Chains A and B, each alone.
Chain A
Amino acid sequence: MKTELLHGTLEVMILKTLSWGHMHGYGIGRWLEQHGGDALRIEEGSLYPALYRLERKGWIKAEWGLSEKNRKAKYYRLTPQGRKALAASVAMWQDFASAVARILSTRQPSPA
């Protein structure tokens, strides 16, 4: 089953993934798969346009390097701008999520 992600969700999650250090595209995908589980199953290919978009915005930067298995891989890391964008997005997402949660957990509307 495939979940339709809300607009911008994937980008925030990528930024978050990269907040601990640089990582290649496959690694990012695997990390999201492990931590998001089935609820956040995303098509692997769709990761890349998001990465390129973030690079264009100047939030992440790509560099070629060697993987653990000594293969050439393209590594992404956050730029200072990206870090700022991540902080802003996280705050926004938390507000959003708690608002949604609040509404969804309300049992009965209190009489006005």
Chain B
Amino acid sequence: MTAPNWRRYLRFWRSDVRGDFDDELAFHVQERVDDLVARGMHPAAAHDEAMRRFGNIDQVREHCLTEAAERESQMRRMETLEVLTQDTIYALRTMRTRPSLTAAIVLTIALGIGATTSIFSVVNAVLLRPLPYQDADRVVMLREVYRGNCCGSVSPGHFHDWTEQTRSFAATAASQGQTYNLTEGDPARLVGLRVTPAYFDVFSMPATLGRYFLAHETEASRVTVLSHDVWQNQFAGEAGIVGRQIRLNGAAHTVVGVAPKAYSLTPYDARLWTILTFTPEQRINYGAHTFQVAARLQPGVTEQQARADVERVTEDIRRRVPNEMKERGADVTAFNEVLIGDYRTQLWVLLGAVVFVLLIGCVNVASLLLARASTRRKEIAIRGALGGARSRLVRQLLTESVLLAIVGGALGVLVARVGVSFLVGTGPAFIPRLAEAGLQLDVLGFAALATLACGVLFGLAPALRATRLDLQAELRDGGRGSRTVVRDRMRAGLIVAEIAVALVLLVSAGLFLRSAQRLQRVQIGFDPSHVTMMRVALPPDRYDSATTVVRAFNTLLDEVRSIPGVVAAGAGTRVPMWGISIDFGMQVEGRGTEQMAVGHMRIVTPGYFETLGISLRRGRYLGELDNQPNAPRAIVVNETYAQSFFPNEDPIGKRVSGWQNGPEPEWREIVGVVADIRAFGQDQTIPAELYAPAAQANQAWWNAHQRNMTIVVKADERAEATLGPALRAAVKRFDATLPLFHLQPMGEVLAQSTAQRRFSTMLLTLLGFTGLVLAAIGIYGVIAFFVSQRTHEIGVRIALGASRYSVIGLVVRQALTLAVAGVALGAVLAWWATRAFGSMLFEIQARDPLTFGLGALVLLLAATGAAFLPARRAARVSPVLALSESA
């Protein structure tokens, strides 16, 4: 029984191995039967005998089919490999014949992929990689909301009630920043955290050495956990560190454990931890908002549920303690959001911008390839005429473009190596985990994907276009393209898109630049020139009472003032950008407690205002007169305070009270009003501020500030160079065990506060400029090609009397038509895209018309400039040459 004949033809598409085998088997059996019959056997018996002799048919068939299938797949692999090898060899040969074109493409892709990969590595490290803590997505921050302003520190009372009365959390922990003088060897000042023991259940990670705190341990247990960094640097990675006694702020503490390296997210994170314990009095204190509270959600509880839960308890507090609480609410937000919320928009904007630059690069490459495809038309037409299938030709052209992309991408990884180290080196170090940015496997994977996407993206359009040819027409007119740039819709479309994207980049960069310019003009309210700051904290064991603290700072300031060249010196608990800010409700004499409003309190010594150059608006500065313990209580307020508390009155002589020791008001008379200063950053709003003389600060205030002041020193120019060592020596003379930290010029401090903004502005400007240059190159390429394709026509025009100017006009008009279309499209895109970072701008609208206009103008000028070179070439076309060439 042979199979029907037609089935054989199926083999053109797919081989039919099973059918083939059965045919072969049938033939075998039939031949055997013939033989046996010829020897005289009965046909029926002969068939049985033939089958018997053959053996186990099923088993044989199975063996054969396995072999055949194996053979088929082997062949397919060979075939694919062969085609790929052919295409690759061909592509390499083509690349070699046009070295400058190849170099231009490879470089464009290398820079594009390099820049994109660099920024992605930062996005990956900061935003995408999960935090190192166990189930980090379940960690939330609980914060207080004051008058709808999110979000502030928490009072011990709130923490206590939230912990006891909510049901949403597996663990809650309070913490408070604390600096420690470590007196082992060279005195060191370490930033640390006081935490309730559950802190390490909230931010959970196995300890590197030893253990964390136990639930029953208290402040009195005198135990500490060190960060990996302190263990390595201060104790040289000593293996027996657990159990050792170290002195922190003069008190002996036992090291119980070392946290892992990954525990600290920035170089500014806590470097050691001690225990925070609340006294029974503190547990009912709802006024001192100085703690951070973190919690771990119970399994299955959502952020919203937790927020409702916390708000319920807060409502209860509001009912019980109405005065303090009237305008205070609560907020629950994922820790991750609190940590990187500020950076998210910025980083995505940067990644978006760099992807835009990459896209422009791809469009340029596509445009170059389209131009080349036009010159290769004849070659492709011949291959098509000789029977090259379209899919085969597309595959060939795509192999070329992907190969170009791969070479570019490989170079791009090298570019990214430089780029990443640049970003990590110049980026602000306080961005969490920025230092972890690098070329890890996932980042390399991204680079590979982006490379392939580029290869297909810039290759597909030219490949499809090149192969969609009218073969006959192409061969007939000798490959001289009759398309013009305007009729060349695809290329024109690409350039329009490119200009549109470039405009979005330019407008974004422009907005950031204008924002930076505005920021530069902000009145900071103080004069940082020739001012140096240093921070000093007095350990509680030797400087216990308020009196000793004040005396110590006064003595230290006298030492500082005796340094030759020092013009003025003073100290305060907060100087611009540094120090703790404690706010509380303020009561005004003669008004009820229901009219309380919040003020931020600073403790200052005489000389503070003069050194920082904060000008006096009314009344007087605080002076030596106020620096006596028994002097009448005096206070200086800033303008914002004066305006919000006494809008239509003279504040001088009015009496206010806040943060008093007991329930009775402690009236302080307002003796002066000083200028507002931007103490929290140039781009931050100014709170209502009060300045109290150091001598009149009570014990509780000093404890809250950890007996910590920042000394500011103004010196004349000659003394400035030697001021650092002189200040160190002065502190040493005063107390050799006191570490001094953050010794730096005020101007530098100010620059650091805008580092993040300047960083993203710089990168965006760089990207915007790159986009502009690439777009100009793109326009130049298209117009140059347009001119070279129409030399003949231009020659005819000139021969017929067209002036050089009209020829230049003709060419430039081509460019401007595209540019105007691109700018129009880009404006719409930018209108929509700049909304994404409106909140990052300072005193400028995301849709600032001037920026949009300038961006458009710059692009149109660039387009005209780029078209001008080929236009001049066109104008110099010799009509005789152009006409004879085509003859």
Please give the residue numbers on chain A whose beta carbons come within 8 Å of chain B beta carbons, in ascending order.
24-26, 29-30, 43-46, 48-49, 51-53, 55-56, 64, 67, 69, 71-74
Q: A26-B28, A69-B34, A73-B27 are in contact. Are A56 and B70 (CB under 8 A)?
A: yes
Assess whether B67 is interfacial by the CB under 8 Å rule: yes
19 A-B interface contacts by CB (under 8 A) = A25-B28, A26-B31, A43-B53, A44-B54, A44-B55, A45-B57, A46-B55, A49-B60, A51-B64, A52-B63, A53-B67, A56-B68, A56-B74, A67-B27, A67-B31, A69-B34, A71-B2, A71-B30, A72-B23
What residues of A have a CB within 8 angstroms of the CB of B67 in the complex?
A: 49, 52-53, 55-56
A-side contacts of B71, CB under 8 Å: 52, 55-56
A45 to B60 Cα, complex, angstroms: 6
CA distance A72 to B57 in the complex (A): 20
The verdict on B20 contacting chain A, using a C-beta distance below 8 Å, is yes
Question: Is B32 part of the binding interface, using a Cβ–Cβ cutoff of 8 Å?
Answer: yes
Complex interface: chain A residues within 8 A of B2 (CB): 71-72
Q: Given A52-B64, A52-B68, A72-B2, A45–B27 Cβ distance below 8 Å? A: no
Q: Point out the residues of chain B lying under 8 angstroms from A72, CB to CB.
A: 2, 23, 27
Q: B376 near A: Cβ within 8 Å?
A: no
- Grouping DSSP codes into helix (H, G, I), strand (E, B) and loop, the A interface class, with mixed when no group exceeds half, is helix
Q: What residues of chain A lie closer than 8 Å to B57, measured between beta carbons?
A: 45
**Contact string, B589-626, partner A, CB cutoff 8 A, digits 1/0?**
00000000000000000000000000000000000000
Which residues does chain A contribute within 8 Å of B35, judged by CB atoms? Answer: 30
Nearest CB to that of B29 among chain A residues? A26
Chain A proximity mask over B7-32: 1 for CB below 8 Å, otherwise 0: 01000000000001101110110111
**In the complex, chain A residues whose CB is within 8 Å of the CB of B25:** 48
Bound complex: CA A88 to CA B21 (Å):
30
Given known A-B contacts A44-B54, A56-B74, A74 and B24 have beta carbons under 8 A apart:
yes
Closest A residue by C-beta to B72: A56
Nearest-neighbour CB distance to chain B for A17, whole angstroms, equals: 15
Q: Determine the chain A residues whose CB is within 8 A of the CB of B56 once the complex forms.
A: 45
Contacts of A43 in B (CB 8 A): 53-55
Residues from chain B with a CB closer than 8 A to the CB of A52 are 63-64, 67-68, 71
Flag if B32 contacts A26 (CB, 8 Å): yes
B30/A74 in contact, CB under 8 A: no
* B51-80 interface (Cβ within 8 A of A): 53-57, 59-60, 63-64, 67-68, 70-71, 74
User: Least Cβ distance of A2 to chain B in Å?
Assistant: 10
Evaluate contact between B23 and A45: CB separation under 8 angstroms.
Answer: no
Give 20 A-B pairs besides A45-B59, A49-B64 with Cβ atoms closer than 8 angstroms. A25-B24, A30-B35, A43-B53, A44-B32, A45-B55, A45-B60, A46-B60, A48-B21, A48-B60, A48-B64, A49-B63, A52-B67, A52-B68, A53-B67, A55-B71, A56-B74, A67-B27, A69-B34, A71-B30, A74-B27
B654 to chain A, nearest CB (A): 102
Q: Chain A residues with Cβ under 8 A from B60's Cβ?
A: 45-46, 48-49
Q: Once the chains are docked, how many angstroms separate the CA of A24 from the CA of B30? A: 13
Q: Report the separation of the CA atoms of residues A74 and B67 in the bound assembly, to the nearest whole angstrom.
A: 16
Q: Is there contact, CB below 8 Å, between A45 and B20?
A: no
Query: Which residues of chain A have C-beta atoms less than 8 A from B59's C-beta?
Result: 45
List B contacts of A67 (CB < 8 A).
27, 31
Residues of B within 8 A of A53 (CB): 67
- Residues of B near A46 (CB, < 8 A) are 55, 60
Question: Least Cβ distance of B36 to chain A in Å?
Answer: 12
B95 to chain A, nearest CB (A): 34
Chain A residues within 8 Å of B23, by CB: 72, 74
CA distance A25 to B35 in the complex (A): 15
Least CB distance, A73 to chain B, in whole angstroms: 5
Q: Could you say which residues of chain A place their CB within 8 Å of the CB of B20?
A: 74
Tell me, rounded to whole Å, the shortest Cβ–Cβ distance linking A42 to chain B. Answer: 10
Nearest chain B CB to A75's CB is how many angstroms away? 10
Distance in angstroms from A66 CB to nearest chain B CB is 11
Contacting residue for A44 out of B30, B53, B74, CB 8 A:
B53
CB 8 Å contact bits of B680-698 with A (1 = contact, 0 = none): 0000000000000000000
Q: For residue B21, which residue of chain A has the nearest CB?
A: A48
Chain A: which residue is nearest B57 at the CB level? A45
B27 near A44 with CB under 8 A, answer no
CB of A106, distance to nearest CB on chain B (Å): 38
User: Would you give the shortest CB distance from B660 to chain A, in whole angstroms?
Assistant: 96
* Residue ID in chain A nearest B8 by CB atoms: A64
CB within 8 A of A24: which of B27, B70, B74?
B27
Closest CB of chain B to A10's CB: distance in Å? 13
Q: What residues of chain A lie closer than 8 Å to B8, measured between beta carbons?
A: 64
CB-defined contacts of B21 to chain A, threshold 8 Å:
48
Complex Cα gap A13–B408 (Å): 55
Give A44 to B35 CA distance when docked, in angstroms: 14
Give the distance in Å from the alpha carbon of A44 to the alpha carbon of B36 in the complex. 15
Question: In the bound complex, do residue B28 and residue A44 qualify as a contact, i.e. CB atoms below 8 Å apart?
Answer: yes
> Which chain B residue lies CB-closest to A74?
B24
